Chain A
Amino acid sequence: MAGNRFNANQDHGVGVGLRIPHYDHIFREKPAVDWFEIISENYMVDGGRPLAMLDRIMEQYRVVQHGVSMYFGSAQAADLEHLRKLKRLVKRTGTPWLSDHLCWGSVDGTYSHDLLPLPYTWEAVEKTAARIREVQDFLEIPVAVENVSSYAAYTQSEMTEWEFLNEVVERADCGILLDVNNIYVSSVNHDFDPMEYVNAVPAERVAQMHIAGHSKYEKYILDTHDHPVIDPVWALYARAVDRCGPTPTLLEWDDRIPSFDEVWAEARKAERYLVAAQEVGAR
């Protein structure tokens, strides 16, 4: 699988998120998973079982780090201690690239532990891009930013979400972790055409893709990662792969986690799209 400079030209295919309930199965059965994505924060500890398990996984699999608390869009300076710990983990895992979310979540050192959406303003573009550059320089590996699911829009926004994403990644010169489920969730919550979003993404910057399931409520959709991927999301994924070419793809399943086999079977549905894209590329 051809890579690009935002995923260190790696050839990662389909992976799944590494989750504790699956440890035993993975160690016992050694399933032929191409790679695992780990949530960085779960392993940014000083010792003990989390790191021991991670080391065991790394004996047999490639891992890629995905963070949830970098908050590129928080208006204040980055937490240096956080960055130092993250870099220590980066050195341990040898992750070829690292991703986190295009969102904010902390103010004055207080953390929400949520992925709060940014207002799509020029001020946010400038500040967020500057922070991404700072993090990328510090970590010395490619960084990809992920579009988040959102449930609120801001009165101050001056552009669409995809315009905002494009402006940020251009200024930061970083990659994109394109989450097609998040695009779908936000398109329902904010009444836009998700295909227009996918078509607007700079394909050459897409380092990785996420697929996942969500929960539907009467008035909005929530990105709960507790269901299989629905057909409209597969359609977005197909279009994204069509535009970007074969791209490292990961299934997220974080709640009501089923057996490993079920999760892996769901993830592998992505393979046919990747193979098709590869064949097109080979012609």
Chain B
Amino acid sequence: MSGMSLETMQRRMLAAVMQPLTPEDTMRERNEAGERMADVAAEFVAPNDRLTAFERLEIYNRQYWFRLLGALGEDFPALRRVLGSRRFDALAVAYLKEHPSRSFTLRNLGRELVGWMRKHPEYLGRRKRLALDVARVEWACVEAFDNGELAPLTAEEIGDLHGGSRLGLQAHLQLLELDFPADDVVLELHQRERKGASEGGARPEMGEMKPEALDVERRRTWLAVHRADGSLYYRRITKEEYQTLTALGRGLGLGEALGAGFRRSRIGPAERPAALQEWFAHWAGLSWLTKPEIEERA
């Protein structure tokens, strides 16, 4: 290591630490460049009378993967059950190889997973769309759990609204259009997960697990995942609600968003005002509507 700068050493060591393990959870003999890991380790790690440089580096290599796989597994326990532990681990390793943590917090580790899964259906087993929906619901839960809470609209602000007004959406509100009723699946699997968790520390059992048998039929589902008083809730919404809310979230004016909400709708024109009144009352009651962010910044 003599002559190697601190930065070069750290870059070299981190690459070694982040290298995927063998199927037996040991450090690989060679890295992707074909170098012997024993030689790489010896560049900067000193052996002692009990452990070689390779073995010492291997401790950190294993810690890295155990920690990150554990963190990802905690965020996607239902996905792990849908895929089974082996397939989930393979997916997680491939994902983390492509998307290592770019954040100081493990909270964001799964941020790119859904997008990555869309590009890599080969990791999703036979129930690809279900796996994707389950992952989307679980990531929505992560976001809804600790995203910020914006102040809801006040009566005074509502009084000033007109057709061109823009509204913002609550920061913890997550809107999903799903191919399956994946909220049911996630609820069921989280309950099974909870039963399997150790009593000591709400830590899910991360042992080997076969894919769960699930009897779920495909059905287009629109879902809002949100938070009230610190707890997470799912609320099934209609396609029109979903379309209206996402239109508002995209920054469309209120009038335009209402129009977009009823695109390809089966709800007849005569019924729409009543439906809208009910939806907006619910959304306001749940503090889902806020001032738009742009106006706040200005």
Contact = CB atoms under 8 A, between A and B. Distances in A.
Interface string B70-86: 01000000000000000
A34 B40 CA distance: 48
A199 B20 CA distance: 41
6 contacts: A69-B104, A106-B104, A116-B13, A119-B6, A155-B43, A190-B48
Contacts of A82: 104
Which of A50, A127, A152 has the most C-beta atoms of chain B within 10 angstroms of its own C-beta? Answer: A152
Given A46-B147, A47-B172, A154-B45, A112 B14 contact: yes
Interface stretch (B61-69, B243-251, B274-282): B61-69
Contacts of B60: 112, 114, 116, 151-152
Given A154-B45, A156-B2, A114 B63 contact: yes
Nearest to A81: B104
A134 interface: no
A64 to B, nearest CB: 19
A79 interface: yes
A41 B108 CA distance: 12
Interface stretch (B95-103, B153-161, B175-183, B213-221): B95-103
Q: Which 4 A-B pairs have the closest CB atoms?
A: A46-B148, A75-B7, A45-B146, A48-B146
B1 A154 contact: yes
B22 interface: no
Contacts of A269: none
A148 B18 CA distance: 20
Interface in A45-83: 45-52, 69, 74-76, 79, 82
Contacts of B187: none
B202 A20 contact: yes
B230 A52 contact: yes
B200 A153 contact: no
Interface residues of B, number: 54
A154 B44 contact: yes
B57 A152 contact: yes
A155 B44 CA distance: 5
A110 B6 contact: no
A110 B14 contact: yes
A154 to B, nearest CB: 6
A21 B200 CA distance: 8
Counting chain A residues whose Cβ lies within 8 A of the other chain, the interface size class is 35 or more
A179 B187 CA distance: 42
B106 A113 contact: yes
Given A113-B67, A154-B46, A257-B201, A49 B230 contact: yes
Contact of A108 (B9, B11, B59, B227): B11
A31 B56 CA distance: 42
Interface of A: 19-21, 41, 44-52, 69, 74-76, 79, 82, 104, 106-114, 116, 119, 121, 123-124, 127, 151-157, 189-191, 219-220, 222, 255-258
Contacts of B53: 152
A17 to B, nearest CB: 12
B56 A152 contact: yes
B14 A107 contact: yes
A116 B43 CA distance: 16
Contacts of A154: 1, 9, 44-46
Interface string B182-195: 00000000000000
Given A69-B104, A153-B46, A220-B50, A113 B6 contact: no
A123 B145 contact: no
